[in-house]
Amino acid sequence: MTTKPPSQVKTFPEDSFEKIAYAIAFEIKTREFNDNNRLGYHIWRYINGTIPTIDEAVRVSGVRLAEGETLQNVIDHVATRLKEKGIDVKREE
């Protein structure tokens, strides 16, 4: 009996919103791998306009940070990296 080869995986281009969001998320030290995935998803939602501010996106993600990291530092880091990529950043006042 033979099996079919696995389907080919098509990755997103380097300049896509998905790649940008997840690359930024994986720069953050978290407790578990899935925390980075959740953070990346919420950053992507912010970029697409589903979440109004980057502060809310990081908070809503429920990311569990590694020791020494603070939520405010993560928000600042994400905002800075998005600005570097040319994406407008809205912050809470």
CB of 91 closer than 8 Å to CB of 55: yes
For 41-62, how does the pLDDT look when each residue is reduced to its tens digit (9 = 90+)?
999 999 999 999 999 999 999 9
Residue 17 lies in a domain: no
Residue 53 lies in a domain: yes
What is the pTM assigned to this prediction?
Answer: 0.86
Residue 39 lies in a domain: yes
Total domain count, the chain: 1
Contacts of 83 (CB under 8 A, 6+ apart): 89
For 3-33, how does the pLDDT look when each residue is reduced to its tens digit (9 = 90+)?
888 888 888 888 899 999 999 999 999 999 9
Q: List the domain range (segments joined by +) for residue 38.
A: 34-84
Q: What is the pLDDT of residue 15?
A: 86
Residue 21 lies in a domain: no
Residue 63 lies in a domain: yes
Residue 45 lies in a domain: yes
Q: What is the pLDDT of residue 35?
A: 95
Q: What sign does the CA torsion over 12, 89, 58, 23 have?
A: positive
